Structure formats: structure tokens, C-alpha cells
Amino acid sequence: MDRSKDYELIENLGSGNFGTVSKERNRRTNEIVAIKTIKKIIDKSAYNEIYILKELTHDNIIRYVDHYSNKNGLAIVMEYADRGTMYDNRMNMSLRSKIMATSENSMWVLLNHLSSALSYLHEKGIMHCDLKPDNILCFPPKDQVFHFKLADFGIAQKLVNSRTRIKFYKNNVIGNHEYMAPEVLRVGRYTKSADMWSVGAIACFWYNGEPLFKDCNEVLHWKGGVQLLPRPPTYYSTKELKSVLDKLLIPKEGSFLRRADAKSILAITTAKENIKTGWGYLEWMLLLAAVALMSLLIFLKIKKWK
């Protein structure tokens, strides 16, 4: 049933091969929503995202609102993320925002949000298969840390047995190569473990402001070890954080199932006392440096007066 008249267009947010995304207002409830319109509906697989979203209720997953069809295609109505995508936020940050967003505390919050969402999905036997900064949406932060939610389940896959990690889905390689696990690039093998590789790659992007790997060759030729990455996490990250990334970024063919699963990463991040929006190590170092510089300037000025 066509319910497009229930919504008033506010702004076009973007377009691609699949269709368009727009910001709209529900005329009856005044709720601001995002509507993804898929132009070409070839078969029932176009409804895959709807089937999956309708059964999901989680604080770190975008909320499904409604769907309808009309002459323009299939429209999926979802909650609107007023802070945009992770990618846009990271690439357009001010210096101060970069310092706060990439603090140790913020990194733990990011890993906590992503692992919480994936633990929920994987328990239901759902693999996202296309995790990347463009598909993570940002909501108003508590103090300095964004609230992150997974979005875009267009190529997500559901396993028959929700508790089996070995089951996999084979297809042509789909998704974004910069955040794709090595085994997916090699043989198109999707597992829950492949989602976890993407979490590690996304965390490094948030840390450094650029993709962990620039092309498929870098992914396939890397032998492992966070400190040997082409673009490793910056020096002020703790050994504990690097250890978590090491557990996620295991590249060797045949051993990818040894990667940490979502539940274990969730347990680590939840146990961290600094899953809160306080200042991290870098912020305190910068504050101390600023105080030292100010003290030096005052001292020089007093000396000049004498």
C-alpha cells in the first residue's frame, strides 16, 4: 500500500545505484524519519532488509518504522540519525572533536556499542556482511561520545542455525573492500567472524581518520600484528586496546575462526571502568601541556617586567 502521502519531504540526503535516502516528516505524528527508496525491485531479495529489521529491537541498531511500495519503488522508513554517518563525522571533525572522539574512553565506547549490536545479531543468526563507517549512524552524544547504531542491512544474511559459527554464505564478493575480512576477499566466505574483522578495521579508522587498508592487496598480504599494520593505531593507545584489536584482526587463512566473537568483546568493553564520557589519557596530557605553556609565558612576562 502506498503511504508516501503520509510523509513530507524535508531534504534529500543522498543517492546511489540502489536508489535514494531522504529526510521526511510524518504528517500525522510529526516524527522525523529517514526513508530509503529502492528503485529496482528485481526479486524478493529486495525485501531482505525489511524482513531483518522488523525482528530487531536493540539500542545500537537503527529502528524500523514502516515500509510501503509505490511507482518509485520500495520505501523503507527508519528512525532518522540527526548526526549523520560515522564516516562524515570523522572526516569533518574539528581538532578539539578529534581529540575527544579518539580518546581511549571513546574507543572503548565505540567497541562496546558495535559488539553489543553484533552480539545481539549473531545470537539471532544474522550476519551484517557490510560493516563500514558509512553504515554506522551517529546520534547525540552523552558529553563527548557519540551513540552509534548499525544501519543498512540490505545484504545481511541469516543462518539456519543461529549458534553455529562455521556455517557460511558464499556469493560474489559484496560490500566494501577496505573493511572486508581476508577470507571474504579470497573465497567469498562470510561468517560471523568476518563481521568482527570489520569491527577492528572500523575502530582503527575512527582512531586514525583513514582506512586501515587502502586496497585488497594490503589486506591479503598483511601477516598480522597490530603494530605491523600499514596504518597502526597511534602511540598513545594502551596495550589493552591493542590486544583487543589483535584479537579482532586475525588474517591467516584457516585461523579466522579464532577471532574474538562479539560476546567476548562485549564482556571486555563492558567490564572497562572507563565506559563513560570522562577525559582520557590524551586529554589530560594536553591539559597539562597547556598549563605548563601558560605558566612559562607568565614566568617570562614577570621576568621581563623585572
What's the CA gap between 85 and 130, in Å, rounded? 14
* Predicted pLDDT at 165: 43
The pLDDT value given to residue 41? 66
Phi, psi of 160 (to 5 degrees): -70, -45
Over residues 142-147, mean pLDDT: 74
Q: What's the whole-number mean pLDDT along residues 49-72?
A: 93
pLDDT value at position 170?
A: 46
Selection from 194, 195, 178 nearest residue 117 by Cα: 195
Predicted local confidence at residue 168, as pLDDT: 44
CA gap 262, 121 in Å, rounded = 9
CA distance 34 to 3: 14
- 95 vs 30, residue with greater confidence: 30
Which one of 95-109, 199-213, 268-282 scores highest in mean pLDDT? Answer: 199-213
**What confidence score (pLDDT) does residue 46 get?**
73
- List, for residues 148-168, the tens digit of each pLDDT value: 999 999 889 888 654 444 444
Q: Is 130 a catalytic residue?
A: yes
- The angle that helices 262-271 and 239-248 make with each other, rounded to 10 degrees, is 170
Q: How confident is the model at residue 169 (pLDDT cuts 50, 70, 90)?
A: very low
**158 burial class (0-12, 13-18, 19+ CB within 10 angstroms)?**
middle
**How wide is the angle at C-alpha 28 spanned by C-alphas 22 and 30, nearest 5°?**
55
Q: Is pLDDT of 258 > 80?
A: yes
* pLDDT of amino acid 234: 56
Long-range contacts of 241-249 (CB under 8 A, 24+ apart): 241/104, 241/107, 241/108, 244/111, 244/268, 244/269, 245/200, 245/203, 245/204, 248/196, 248/197, 248/199, 248/200, 248/203, 249/197, 249/200, 249/201, 249/212, 249/224
Question: Active-site residue among 6, 59, 66, 130?
Answer: 130
Write down the pLDDT at residue 236. 45
Over range 34-38, report the average pLDDT: 93
Q: What is the pLDDT of residue 215?
A: 82
pLDDT at 196: 94
- What domains appear along the chain, each with residue ranges and CATH number? 4-79 (3.30.200.20), 86-281 (1.10.510.10)
Q: Note the maximum CA span of the chain.
A: 84
